Structure 1
Amino acid sequence: MSDSGSAPEVGEGAAARTAARERPLHLGLRQNAAQFTLLVAVNALVGGMLGQERTVLPLLAEREFGLTAYTAVLTYILAFGLAKAVTNYLAGAWSDRYGRKPVLVAGWVVAVPVPLLLIWAPSWGWVVAANVLLGISQGLTWSTAVIMKIDLVGPARRGLATGFNEAAGYLAVAATALATGYLAGASGLRPEPFFLGIAYAALGLGLSTLAVRETRQHARLEAGTHTSRADGRHDHLHEELSQRQVFVQTSFREPALSSASQAGLVNNLNDGLAWGLFPVLYAGAGLGVGRIGVLAALYPAVWGLGQLVTGALSDRWGRKPFIVGGMLLQAAALALVAVGDAFAVWAVAAVLLGAGTAMVYPTLLAAIGDVAHPGWRASSVGIYRLWRDGGFAVGALLAGVLADLYGIRAAVWFVAALTAVSGAVVAIRMYETHQRGPGPRRRAGPAG
């Protein structure tokens, strides 16, 4: 074929690509089903990276590295929580500034060495370092995945979007915790359980780089048609807020945003307790690694499956009832763990704890999406997740100190009471964020 004959084909290909880029964007789950489904799969891989540790690391600390003080054992959760909390904040700000996809890909690059470090770690310090990297990776990937789903579906289906996102992640946590428990029981604590993490990192990086598309333009489309609530609650929350103003509104000033932030922190505080101390409590009662793996998987499995229901129902019934009820149910479940002494009792407690967390997790994220303006929503999600995942660090430190001083059961009782207080704060301070009625709306203007 001559050069003159090939030129039109190149031009036609470029024109087709340009036309594809210029096709009008649409908000909605059905309109963006392929990308939404892909992002669900990516977040399942993100959850799997976390799940590889849930059963194995607390036992590894005791049996291979000889750590006996609970505070020392929980240093890896403290490191993970601090790294993830700070990175959540940065991920939100960077997603607004540079786009979602670069942040997602960067998170997977950071994840690649984590399972290798866990396999080869010659001392506990290496495990802590691996968890710093894991926290950074989780902050970048999980934050961005949920932001991208919220971008795609628009305001009507936020609960459904966050429910699918969190369900995929925590079902993968559960499945991987169960699988690593059986692998550890059959082959030892290292290296076989961490081979799953190597596979997850490779798949996640490949899909995010080659198949995921940028969604920031969908947020801009929603911002162009954004309207305020009929009751005028959000009229002061206009698009042009500085990063400092977004932080203050999300953390302290805006009643719904700040209530969600404190509830998220307490939720992950008790998850840090469950992650770090429950396996040690179960082992002390004589349970084998396989049964500990079942309990470690049961809680996030119910949590993950439940979010498929609770997220969507919150689009119909509102966010606040699920958040208040979920925090109180978690408190009751933790109390049951504290009084239990057998596999059956702890299995019931794990189911209740998972159900309570499923009521809370997607609805808190959806509430942030309800209130935050699309122009700074990613930043607000990042700040909320800064507080929420800071709960891992607070939980690890608090639970470790209390367990060393008074025993594991006393630490569980204290966190149960704290969780109940958090639910009461939401009941008193938070208003319903999801506007279900079609009442009159007016376009938001700048704050006075």
Structure 2
Amino acid sequence: MSMEPAPPSVAPSPAAAPGPRLGLRANWRQFSLLVVVNGFVGAMVGMERSILPAIAEHEFELVAHTAILAFIVVFGLAKAVTNYFAGRFADDYGRKVVLVVGWLIATPVPFMLMWAPSWNWILLANVFLGVSQGLTWSTTVIMKIDLAGPKNRGTAMGINEFAGYFAVGAAALATGAIAANYGLRPQPFYLGVAFALAGLLLSVLVVRETRGHAHLEAALAPARGAPVVPSQGAIFWHTSVRDPNLSSISQAGLVNNLNDGMAWGLFPFVFAGAGMTLAQIGTLAAIYPAVWGVCQLATGALSDRIGRKGLIVAGMWVQAAGIAIIAFRSSFAWYAAGAVLLGIGTAMVYPTLLAAIGDVVNPLWRASTVGVYRFWRDLGYAIGALLAGVVADLYGVVSAVWLVAAITFLSGVIVAFRMREPGLP
């Protein structure tokens, strides 16, 4: 009988272990989970959308539109700056940790809004909200781009933005209804506590890291840029100014959120001035983001088939038409029609801009580029609210709305003349 020891059992080769795969079908579980998470991200913003201007007027007795819209200015600035760093942090430290930190920062927001003793507390709550949104929304965008791979980027962004902005509209409708029945505070913000808790628990317990998917895509497409990651300054300059596609995308994103900041801050005053009730204002505030959210399910996928540029140009012009209708007419039906057009136009633009970035940027520094784009895009909130507030105080609310409609139309003209159609995979 041989006394030689039995050969050791062979452990599975690391190469045989399942690694990341690209595509919506291969990653549908994690992708679907991130859709739900982004719904809670959007709902955190939506809970403010229909009632915060009313709180400013009725509880804190603010009169100047510039002062009232300051909450959007601080939100936009905080979110824009955080977006800038969120992309780089996601590249350097991973996506999941940035997502979880964003939810931790969101947790005090509903409590601050409920019990704020002064308007300064509302402003501080919106700083927290802006930082949180910059971290959480940026990360869910980046993670979905990672999972989808190059073939279905527009579809992925359409689904992502649908989840976020449909939730914005649903939360605005819900908080408007609660405020009409129970008062402006604290009851409407109970929803925010549930949103923050659900988003945090899902992100900590179930969401998985996706940075490996970006590395896989970069390895499969080595011709899309040198392997050396550029400096953050180089990425910022390239995205903001030098590259005609990326800079056109960045200015369109800025103007898109400029008009959204105006809509968020001034439309409730336009509607109230026309005799709309608080419940009607809540409904109108919900129509625009709800239409925006639902239509992105179609427009994101459509951009994968017909290209990006045409949808962006047409979308900016449709937005301008919707804003002009709201400025020109003064009935619930016309306001609803304008909100629908604004939602459709925004849906044509929003996922398409993000998909277009993925078309032209190396996956290894894609998150950083998305961060720069989202810096400019969400800076539009601050610029739009500040511009709208100043013009409204000087020349009236309707004049401010007309000005934003004109700026939105001009942005589409810039894209039409400067942007080239990115190559589709």
Both proteins in one fold, TM over 0.5: yes
After TM superposition, list the pairs within 5 Å mapping 1:339-418 onto structure 2. Answer: 339-418=328-407
User: Residue 329 of structure 1: CA displacement?
Assistant: 0.6
What is the letter of the counterpart of residue 319 of structure 2? Q
Q: Does 1:36 align with 2:31?
A: yes
Asked if the contact 1:174–1:296 (Cα under 8 Å) also holds between the matched residues in 2, the reply is yes
Scaled by the length of structure 2, what TM-score is found?
Answer: 0.96
What is the letter of the counterpart of residue 398 of structure 1? L
**Equivalent position of 2:235 in the other structure:** 246
Distance 2:132 2:234 in 1: 26
Equivalent of 2:299 in 303, 310, 313: 310
Distance 2:418 2:337 in 1: 31
**Equivalent position of 2:86 in the other structure:** 91
User: Residue 372 of structure 1: CA displacement?
Assistant: 1.1
User: Residue 239 of structure 1: CA displacement?
Assistant: 4.6
User: Residue 24 of structure 1: CA displacement?
Assistant: 2.2
After TM superposition, list the pairs within 5 Å mapping 1:195-344 onto structure 2. Answer: 195-228=190-223, 239-344=228-333
Asked if the contact 1:178–1:297 (Cα under 8 Å) also holds between the matched residues in 2, the reply is yes
Distance 2:16 2:405 in 1: 51
Distance 2:19 2:59 in 1: 57
What is the letter of the counterpart of residue 170 of structure 1? Y
Distance 1:381 1:29 in 2: 20
Q: SS of 1:173's equivalent?
A: helix
User: Residue 19 of structure 1: CA displacement?
Assistant: 7.0
Distance 2:134 2:14 in 1: 35
Runs of 4+ in 1 over 3 A off after TM superposition: 18-22
What is the letter of the counterpart of residue 378 of structure 2? D
After TM superposition, list the pairs within 5 Å mapping 1:177-192 onto structure 2. Answer: 177-192=172-187
Distance 1:387 1:306 in 2: 24
Asked if the contact 1:315–1:434 (Cα under 8 Å) also holds between the matched residues in 2, the reply is no
Q: SS of 1:375's equivalent?
A: helix
**Equivalent position of 1:443 in the other structure:** none
**Equivalent position of 1:78 in the other structure:** 73
**Equivalent position of 1:439 in the other structure:** none
Structure 1 residues without counterparts, runs of 5 or longer: 1-11, 229-233, 437-448
Q: Structure 1 379/105 Cα, relative in aligned 2: closer, same or farther at 3 Å?
A: same
Instruction: Say how many residue pairs are matched.
Output: 416
User: Residue 393 of structure 1: CA displacement?
Assistant: 0.3
What is the letter of the counterpart of residue 357 of structure 2? I
User: Residue 50 of structure 1: CA displacement?
Assistant: 0.4
Asked if the contact 1:319–1:434 (Cα under 8 Å) also holds between the matched residues in 2, the reply is no
Cα-to-partner distance string for 1:76-102 (whole Å, 9 max, x where unaligned): 000000000000011000000000000
Distance 1:349 1:87 in 2: 32
User: Residue 227 of structure 1: CA displacement?
Assistant: 5.0
**Equivalent position of 1:26 in the other structure:** 21
User: Residue 356 of structure 1: CA displacement?
Assistant: 0.2
Asked if the contact 1:76–1:128 (Cα under 8 Å) also holds between the matched residues in 2, the reply is yes
Equivalent of 1:146 in 120, 141, 147: 141
How much identity, in percent, do the aligned residues show?
62
